[in-house]
Amino acid sequence: MHHSIDTPEAIWRALDRFLFRVRQPARYVGGEVNSIQKNWDEISSRLVLLFPDTYEIGMSNLGMMILYDIVNEQANMLAERAFLPWVDMEAEMRQRGIPLYSLESFQPLGNFDVIGVTLPYEQLFTNVLSALDLAGFPLRAADRDASWPLVVAGGSAGLNPEPMHAFFDAFFIGEGEEGVLDIMRSYETWRRKFDIRPRVGWHPGGAQLRTTKDILLRSLAHIPGLYVPALYDVRYYADGRVRDIRIKPGYEKDAALPVQKRIMAILPPPLTRYIVPNIKTIHNRPSVEIQRGCTRGCRFCQAGIIFRPVRERPLDEVLRAVDEIIDSTGYEEISFLSLSASDYSRIGELTQAVVAKYADQNISIALPSLRIESFSVQLMETLAQGRRRSGFTFAPEAATDRLRDVINKPISTEALLAVADQVYSRGWTTIKLYFMIGHPTQTMADVEAIADLAHQVWHVGKHYLGHKAKVRLTISTLVPKPHTPFQWVAMADETEIRAQIAYLQHRLGGSAFHLNWNDPRETLMEAFLSRGDRRLSDVIQRAWELGARFDAWEDQFNDVAWQQAFAEHGLDPDWYARRPRDLDELLPWDHIHVGVDKSFLQEQYRLALAGGVVDDCHEHCYSCGILSHYRRERRQAPDDAWGCPALGRGKAHQPVSAHAVPMYFNPEMSPEQANTTRRPQRLSRLQAIGEETP
């Protein structure tokens, strides 16, 4: 695509002619408080952070904002933002030849050095192609020589990079706070050496620019955590399974195998200069990350594995951040971010301190991801402070004690009902419950139990509130994700999923209940995109050509395009989503190491099938691999900053075992081992928060 509109002035002039008639035009013009526009001509190293969905969604992504802040802190670098326009805007831009541009300088993406694409979930894959195309770039990395900006992905969905390998020059694996600067510096060194500056319209072609690009990729591969797919070869067996993944001959000294996730030993200071959007966004509030990682070990949960190790932010740092954020943004609400807020060791002090300081300033505090325990009710009570109490959210994920033991989220139905009692009795009218169907070993009885439990919870509410009591349920289907103990499991059969959802609809039809569920076809897409291999790049591109985009938006999801794309390439989505893998099969993502060993995941998988429940690893280290792979980082951090035991003589603060030792086995799953229960090794934390131990 050739763009005649390729300067900031021309882009703004062109936009101002039609923006009045697109939906929510303010999202296309920037100009927000705390956004940073540096002098374009004076800054040598230029990054644009691209979120491949709308502004409202992308502006809620903390990772992207952290990188924006870090890069703009550097005197010789700038970072700007770009988002994918909604379909009406995209059509206008294409019709007028307006390329995708950044919100700060209105520069076309083709004028930047590096495009950093945030990929938190797989449904954004086709949007990446839309963005590259709208920017005027060739889609395939192999078709972009050194005259094109470098296109790098980062985020959870890049931890199985293979389905998107053809489109990105590199994937950053892990936490990018330092890595982003490494990439920018490495690029700048190369750029100066070869006197190259990507810009719109300058693409002379020729072998020289291809060779120069190869030199760049080679140097980038030396950055820890950076995966450059072009430097690897994958071979397959005739049946489609991966046979081997090797570094290409000649690149052995440059590329790593496996590529190990990069982590920060100590959490960098929290972001406080939040951009304040001029319009409502999805998470319309800033957040302070109080803790990274989770020690719970739920076996379906990818975040619980890939964000290991657990690192806590010191309380005083969190409180200082709250002050700075409110000062610099003026937001009326702030939220504390973590995978499991209840596990933040100073959560009680934190909530009391912020309420004491801000309650009378009309600033409210959101605390997502609370555990199902009475302490959570106390926390919410503190935060509510006489305001309206609407909803209370819990995620039991399964409705029977047995299945919760399988997924290693042990909480008894009895305890859950006791917490529901506390919630409704204090005046909250709605309890929101998250369940998953399709867990391994699930039977129809487990699905029936979801409806039974919902009714039980509602009856608790009815006792206090009559028919004002409500139960909202969100039912999702397990997508067995890479790097989890369930990565070998087949996703549930579609007719089964539909039957189970239909059953729940039937049982939970009354006005007391509100039931949400995911379209099984969309879940299938998430499954094949997250579990795919390199051959899926062709399928993704074809599906995009056939019109698939904004796949995360129910009203845009294009199942027909995906089916046709698979068929044209002779591949089967179910083969990717619903084929159980052998434990010794080489998985397409096995060359990406997230710090947790495959042997640990295998052991957890075996324990799942045996109903073996493993304690929070904050209590007892089961050698998942993090400590052996990040010894240096562990030593850099204070003893109490990580959930993992400190290294060194006389520092064993918690027991360590080479193998996971279950606290108990579920009697239904392993009757022969049902009596071998073992108390958790350290009770102090549990007792401190007043919880009953299992």
Binding site for another protein (CB under 8 A): 16-21, 24-26, 28-33, 276, 278-280, 326-332, 362, 387-388
Instruction: Give the H/E segment covering residue 423.
Output: helix 413-425
Shortest gap between Cβ of 19 and another protein (angstroms)? 6
Q: How far is the CB of 361 from another protein (least distance, A)?
A: 8
Max distance between CA atoms of the chain, in angstroms, equals 77
Return the sign of the alpha-carbon dihedral for residues 299, 301, 307, 312. Answer: negative
Quote the CA–CA distance of 527 and 545 in Å, as a whole number.
Answer: 21
Nearer to another protein by Cβ, of 126 and 364: the residue is: 364
CA pair distance 354, 361, nearest whole angstrom: 11
Residue among 248 and 387 whose Cβ is closer to another protein: 387
250 or 386: CB nearest another protein = 386
Strands 664-665 and 612-613: antiparallel
**Spatial CA neighbour of 85 closest among 76, 77, 94:** 94
Alpha helices per DSSP H over 330-373 = 347-358
Q: Which residue has the tokens 């190369």?
A: 190
CB of 18 to another protein, least distance (A): 7
Burial call 381-405: b when 16+ CB within 10 Å, e when fewer: bbbbeeeeeeebbbbbbbbbbbbbb
For another protein, the closer of residues 12 and 236 by Cβ is 12
Q: How far is the CB of 221 from another protein (least distance, A)?
A: 41
Q: Which of residues 265 and 359 has its CB atom nearest to another protein in the complex?
A: 359
Q: Chain centroid to CA 459: how far?
A: 35
Closest distance of CB 103 from another protein, Å: 10
Distance separating alpha carbons of residues 90 and 99, to the nearest angstrom: 10
* 166 touches 534 (CB < 8 A): yes
Distance between alpha carbon 635 and the CA centroid of its chain, in Å? 27
Residue 508 is classified by DSSP as T
> In the bound complex, what is the minimum distance in angstroms from residue 409's beta carbon to another protein?
34
Shortest approach of another protein to residue 279 CB, angstroms? 5
Q: Chain-centre distance of CA 205, in angstroms?
A: 37
Give CA 175 to chain center in angstroms.
Answer: 12
**Residue (360 or 672) nearer to another protein, CB:** 360
- Distance of CA 541 to CAs 63, 168, 352, 522, 671, Å? 26, 13, 51, 18, 50
Q: Cβ of residue 78: shortest distance to another protein, in angstroms? A: 17
CB 212 within 8 A of CB 195: no
Token reading at 40: 């374009």
Question: Which of residues 328 and 393 has its CB atom nearest to another protein in the complex?
Answer: 328
Least distance between another protein and beta carbon 433 (Å): 24
Q: Which of 330/580 has CB closer to another protein? A: 330
Nearer to another protein, 32 or 668 (CB): 32
Question: In terms of DSSP bridges, do strands 226-227 and 77-83 run parallel, antiparallel, or are they unpaired?
Answer: unpaired
- Give the shortest CB-650-to-another protein separation in angstroms: 49
Give the shortest CB-427-to-another protein separation in angstroms: 12
How many helices (H) and strands (E) the chain has is answered by 23, 21
Side-chain-side CA neighbours of residue 401 (13 Å): 13
Q: How far apart are CA 388 and CA 380, in angstroms?
A: 12
- 24 burial level (CB within 10 Å; 0-12, 13-18, 19+): middle
Q: Which is nearer to another protein, 390 or 636 (CB)?
A: 390
Of the pair 20, 584, the CB lying nearest another protein is at 20
Of residues 276 and 319, the one with the C-beta less far from another protein: 276
Angle, CA of 109, 539 and 163, to the nearest 5°: 65
Query: What's phi and psi for 638, nearest 5 deg?
Result: -60, 150
**For another protein, which is the closer residue by CB, 55 or 148?**
55
3-state secondary structure of 157: helix
Q: Which is nearer to another protein, 56 or 145 (CB)?
A: 56
Closest CA to 174 of 184, 166, 182: 182
For another protein, the closer of residues 365 and 689 by Cβ is: 365
CA 428, CA 560: separation in Å to the nearest integer?
A: 43
Burial of 467 (0-12, 13-18, 19+ CB in 10 A): exposed
Place of tokens 């309420």: 355
CB of 25 to another protein, least distance (A): 4
CB of 420 to another protein, least distance (A): 23
Unique residue bearing structure tokens 């039931």 = 515
**Dist CA 467 CA 429 (whole Å):** 10
Q: Least Å distance between CB 275 and another protein?
A: 10
Q: Which is nearer to another protein, 352 or 390 (CB)?
A: 390
User: What does the block give as tokens for 224?
Assistant: 């820890």
Are 46 and 78 in contact by the 8 Å Cβ rule? The answer is: yes
CB of 13 to another protein, least distance (A): 10
Min dist CB 632 to another protein, Å, is 42
Sign of CA dihedral 7, 10, 13, 19: negative
**102 vs 118, which CB is nearer to another protein?**
102
CB of 87 to another protein, least distance (A): 18
Residues 366, 372, 376, CA angle at the centre, nearest 5°? Answer: 45
Of residues 321, 315, 319, 291, the one with CA closest to residue 303: 291
Q: Please state, in angstroms and rounded to a whole number, the distance separating the CA atoms of residues 537 and 516.
A: 32
